Structure 1
Amino acid sequence: MSPEREEYVDWRGKNADPRKHGGVRAASFVCGKIFQLRVVEVLENLVFLSNASNFVAYFLMSMNYKPAEASNMVTNFMGTSFLLTIFGGFISDAFITRFKTFIFFCSIELLGLILLTVQAHEPHLHPAMGRRPSGSQAAILYAGLYAIAIGVGGVKATLPAHGADQLDHSNQRLISAFFNWFFFSLCIGGLISVTLMIWIEENLGWNWSFKISVIVLSVTLFIFTIGFSFYRCKLPGGSPLSRISKVKQKFVIMVSIYNRLHSHGREYFWLNYKIKIWQKCNLYLLTLLKNHFSHLSLKILDKALIDNTVTATEVEETITFLGLLPIFATTILMNCCLAQLMTFTVQQGNIMNRTIHHFKIPTQSLTVFPLIIMLASIPLYEQFVRIFGNQKAKMFQPLRRIGLGLALASGSMAVAAIVEVKRREAAENNVILSVFWLGWQYLLLGVSDMLTLGGMLEFFYSEAPDSMRSMSTALSWCSTSMGYFLSSVLVGITNSVSGKYGQPWLGGKNLNQTRLDLFYTLLSILNILNLLAYIYCAKRY
């Protein structure tokens, strides 16, 4: 029996049959391409984004929170949702299959939506006009909100990895195409959420929005579940964190022993160590160490192999996972910029001219422009690869796409600062600027997100050890989480520091009394510095 068949099982735990389980058919059920546009990821992302993108308006108008507080509530919710992908990825890598993990966490998300639906439907669960929510009202709100966050964390960690598991991992082009079409499905869900769903929220109310979300997520769970008979599921391999910890502990012990013996003049120890490494390491591991790490700090992790309690595979897993972390860290600041589209940019749009022929445009619907570009670019890219082949397509390899996305993030914040200056100048002259001025930052950040997130999903899945693919893929979403949390921290620091030298930049109740343009300028400068750090890390990978 081949290793491929031993590694995967069906939903009952029996060995997967390659003629029946996995393949393009199963992957299309998750991603939404190939034979027909399956809707699992489309509908899941539709539910998540339709609520998350307009939560700031719900907190302001229905729950009566202040603008800065509402913005932080949204960024904290988004940050928690994406941060918990690490937890969801850990569960599916270590204990249960990704198929079961998805069903469990999707059910939790559904329960959270039902709780918010009940609150939106019952008037006595809302605060009175102009008053903050009571303790019980806030408890219901936060319980529903963070049940959704927990569910989203598990769903987003497992769905892309489960889809890619259906494919032949020796065919990197097929894996790359899968993640391109997976991102295409994300964009379809996003497009529906910023058009139809936001129109429903603004014209029919949150009561209807939550009800529709409950129905859509229930359909999503049903569609995913009925594919159980032809999915193949990756067997959980135990806790990857325990293996990393074991390598680390053994490494510390062996370095300590070496230092003690070396300090007593036992020079032969180093020679003995090198011999044992050659005996216990295969050539692939040594090549991996040489190619990926030129600095000594990670390279000497192979000292852990002196003892038989740590295997070469465990050291390889540790080295590979640690090697992904610098790339992960340098993408966080870009997502801090992305957080502004759901907070301050929404507040900007709400006080700008949004009317065209008696129709009021929701600010969030400006996301339509970058989404349309993304949806068009993915089929064009796939056609380009089909015509010119993989060699020409190497210019779009994941690390290069991520770098271009980070550069666009810095440019988007510079443009956002200029637009905010024009908006404030117009407001001082009693002129209301058109909301379409915000289209530039939506466009630049939307394309930046497509390049960065799409590149990270493919890069982290392809580079990850087999037993850590869910956790490694979750790093893409965790970067988004850290960006949202960093946004909240930067807002607090900016207000604290600027308040010592006058009025806080972001402290006013009205945006016309704030200096949002200076905050955007600060983000642009920080992103330029971050881009330089990314280029350094990417070249050393």
Structure 2
Amino acid sequence: MEIEGSRRDQQQVNWEGYVDWRNRPAVVGRHGGMLAAFFVLVVEVLENLAYLANASNLVLYLSKYMHLSISRSANSVTDFMGTAFLLALLGGFLSDAFFTTYRIFLISAAIEFLGLLILTVQAKTPSLKPPPCSCSPCEEVHGGKAAMLFTGLYLVALGVGGIKGSLPAHGAEQFDESTAHGRRRRSTFFNYFVFCLSCGGLIAVTLVVWIEDNKGWQWGFGISTLAILLSIPIFVVGSSRYRNKVPSGSPLTTILKVLVAATVNSFQYRNPSNAIVSLNTSPLNPGQRTTAGPDHETQAPDKPKDRAASDGGESANRESLRFLNRAVAVEKPVHASLQCSAQQVEDVKAVIKVLPLFGCTIMLNCCLAQLSTFSVQQAATMDTKLGSLKVPPASLPIFPILFIMVLAPVYDHFIVPFARRATGSETGITHLQRIGVGLVQSIVSMAAAALVEVKRKRVATESGMLASGGPLPITFFWIAFQYLFLGSADLFTLAGLLEFFFSEAPSSMRSLATSLSWASLAMGYYLSSVIVSIVNGATARTGRRGWLSGPNLNSYHLERFYWLMCLLSLLNFLHYLFWATRYKYRSNK
């Protein structure tokens, strides 16, 4: 009985800080687990269906029905998608600081529903769109019609951002990370989260895109509206099973406080009466501190000899970014509000150390942005017939989606167990190794895209259709190569990033840290727009048209642009290796 009581007490400690949907303490065995995460996975299918059904085909909607130019349509899509993913930081911040991930999802889903409803009404009503035209140039959408279009789009972006910033963290919080079994189940959750992303995407880029192209965009927007509406009651059904992390205040305030305190206290070194305390936040001695002079830190006299072996990651963390150690305390602090705990300093260090790795993934997502813009335009000039069926160009993402749907279960159930036995690591290969594999595949994908574009233009020249713009006598299956490599890169990198940020971040900042995965996507889409503008401006100065401008895609030098992206991706990978080989994992595996 005493053993059972101690186990029960230990479980209660592990569940401390979690509540149910009524703000009552979460109960072991009643809340959390795979069943609770299952509702999250089902909701993610519907949420990504609603988002990707429009995002994947939006460039054609803007150019064909709203009469925007190809370049402006492409930039509008990347700006919209970039904003949606960047707003995930807002969703993650609010989840950590003021609300639970449970509430943020419900609020965000309602906002996305409102945005999709506006777009559906506009697509259905001819008077709310520019008049159709049969000759060029056509009248671009403007005035109130443009305001309605972009209001709907950016309400959707706000809703998507909130969902992306809360839903992955909400699912991951259902598992007990104090046990190896719980950590493995959490890793499985992230793999299947990407799998469910692909399931929603599969329906979006096949059924919904076909309906948009053949039945009308009002039906496509309508299906997306229905999907996000349906996700709300499904999510609510699982309420009694969820455990929700109690918000612990603004993580940004903690970060700013530590940085300011470290800077202010650094000047106190010159005052002998103020001794700076070094950090010793071991689980064995959580409150122990030692004084040190301005140029060194001394070790605790009663520190166990085997301690370094048991907390290698935490010891390395204390030795890194030592400037921040000065934030812990001075005997006479400048102001009481600048008094920081050792744990707060370690939390801020953990966040700062992942930022360079976060930056190294932006270039991969810049490559991914091409799947929604120029790759779709390439396919639109090619033969998209599959037997008697004509495949919409926006359905091309089906190639990476199917690949991810096959690879995700294979990776989780076969590759990871084999790698786990070989390496002794719980995750098989480390998170950073997994991300690195994705970065290499992005390099290969851009090289494949450049070679395919060379072949496409050669066919256009040989068939005498270089000026007409197509359709060309070349199958769209050639585009599948770049999609397959980028799809595989997305699986390795996105799932790796989500788990890496969640497991390495402090518990009070996990939603915000997980949102960095989506912020990387946002930065990639924004960077894509910037690179397109810079390339056009730089190459147009020679007196010729820019690489990415002209009357049709055949007049573009898209192959040069892809080679440039390949080179930038290679340099980015080398940059990633520099940081990844020096990173010390915070969590004790």
Q: How does 1:242-261 map to 2 (within 5 A)?
A: 242-258=253-269
Query: RMSD in angstroms over aligned alpha carbons?
Result: 2.3
Q: How does 1:319-398 map to 2 (within 5 A)?
A: 319-384=349-414, 388=418, 390-392=420-422, 394=425, 395-398=428-431
The equivalent of 1:455 in structure 2 is 496
More helix by share: 1
CA contact 1:277–1:303 (8 Å) conserved in 2: no
Q: In the alignment, is residue 49 of structure 1 matched against residue 58 of structure 2? A: no
Q: Could you say if the C-alpha distance between residues 253 and 64 of structure 1 is closer, same or farther in structure 2, counting changes exceeding 3 Å?
A: same
Q: Could you say if the C-alpha distance between residues 505 and 7 of structure 1 is closer, same or farther in structure 2, counting changes exceeding 3 Å?
A: same
Could you tell me how far 1:120 is from its partner in structure 2? 0.7
Write the deviation string for residues 94-133 of structure 1: whole angstroms up to 9, x where unpaired.
0011100100011101100001011111110001122111
Could you tell me how far 1:270 is from its partner in structure 2? 5.2
Could you tell me how far 1:241 is from its partner in structure 2? 0.4
Could you tell me how far 1:29 is from its partner in structure 2? 1.4
Write the deviation string for residues 336-365 of structure 1: whole angstroms up to 9, x where unpaired.
000001001111111111123332111232
Higher mean C-alpha deviation, range 525-534 or range 432-441: 432-441
The equivalent of 2:293 in structure 1 is 271
Larger radius of gyration: 2
Q: Could you say if the C-alpha distance between residues 387 and 71 of structure 1 is closer, same or farther in structure 2, counting changes exceeding 3 Å?
A: closer
Structure 1 residue corresponding to 2:525, chosen from 463, 484, 491: 484
SS at match of 2:249: coil
Instruction: Output the amino acid matched with 2:34.
Output: V
Q: 2:247, 2:579 → 1: CA distance? A: 31
Instruction: Output the amino acid matched with 1:516.
Output: L
Could you tell me how far 1:273 is from its partner in structure 2? 8.1
Give structure 1 stretches of 5+ with no counterpart: 32-38, 263-268
Higher mean C-alpha deviation, range 482-491 or range 389-398: 389-398
Q: Could you say if the C-alpha distance between residues 55 and 260 of structure 1 is closer, same or farther in structure 2, counting changes exceeding 3 Å?
A: farther
The equivalent of 2:128 in structure 1 is 125
Q: 1:391, 1:255 → 2: CA distance? A: 47
Higher mean C-alpha deviation, range 366-375 or range 225-234: 366-375
Q: 1:374, 1:21 → 2: CA distance? A: 30
CA contact 2:116–2:221 (8 Å) conserved in 1: yes
Q: How does 1:162-181 map to 2 (within 5 A)?
A: 162-170=170-178, 171=180, 172-181=183-192
What is the TM-score of this pair, normalised by structure 2?
A: 0.85
CA contact 1:27–1:164 (8 Å) conserved in 2: yes
CA contact 1:79–1:483 (8 Å) conserved in 2: yes
Q: How does 1:171-250 map to 2 (within 5 A)?
A: 171=180, 172-250=183-261
Q: In the alignment, is residue 148 of structure 1 matched against residue 156 of structure 2? A: yes
Could you tell me how far 1:381 is from its partner in structure 2? 2.4
CA contact 1:416–1:438 (8 Å) conserved in 2: yes
Q: Could you say if the C-alpha distance between residues 498 and 188 of structure 1 is closer, same or farther in structure 2, counting changes exceeding 3 Å?
A: same
Write the deviation string for residues 142-200 of structure 1: whole angstroms up to 9, x where unpaired.
10000000000010111111011111112321211111111111111111111111111
Same amino acid, percent of matched pairs: 44
Write the deviation string for residues 27-48 of structure 1: whole angstroms up to 9, x where unpaired.
11112xxxxxxx2111111111
Q: Could you say if the C-alpha distance between residues 355 and 215 of structure 1 is closer, same or farther in structure 2, counting changes exceeding 3 Å?
A: same
Instruction: Output the amino acid matched with 2:316.
Output: N
Instruction: Output the amino acid matched with 1:97.
Output: T
Write the deviation string for residues 446-484 of structure 1: whole angstroms up to 9, x where unpaired.
111111111101111111100111001001010000000
Give structure 2 stretches of 5+ with no counterpart: 1-8, 133-137, 274-290, 334-338, 464-471, 584-589
Instruction: Output the amino acid matched with 1:443.
Output: L
Structure 2 residue corresponding to 1:403, chosen from 432, 436, 439: 436
Q: 1:206, 1:354 → 2: CA distance? A: 20
CA contact 1:85–1:157 (8 Å) conserved in 2: yes
Higher mean C-alpha deviation, range 117-126 or range 388-397: 388-397
What is the TM-score of this pair, normalised by structure 1?
A: 0.93
Q: 2:311, 2:483 → 1: CA distance? A: 45
Q: 1:352, 1:389 → 2: CA distance? A: 42
The equivalent of 2:20 in structure 1 is 10
CA contact 2:376–2:396 (8 Å) conserved in 1: no
SS at match of 2:26: coil
Q: 1:391, 1:121 → 2: CA distance? A: 57
Structure 1 residue corresponding to 2:325, chosen from 302, 324, 334: 302
Could you tell me how far 1:6 is from its partner in structure 2? 2.6
Instruction: Output the amino acid matched with 1:415.
Output: A
Q: In the alignment, is residue 522 of structure 1 matched against residue 564 of structure 2? A: yes
Higher mean C-alpha deviation, range 301-310 or range 505-514: 301-310
Q: How does 1:393-472 map to 2 (within 5 A)?
A: 394=425, 395-430=428-463, 432-472=473-513
User: Which of structure 1's runs of 4+ aligned residues deviate more than 6 A?
Assistant: 281-286
Could you tell me how far 1:254 is from its partner in structure 2? 1.3
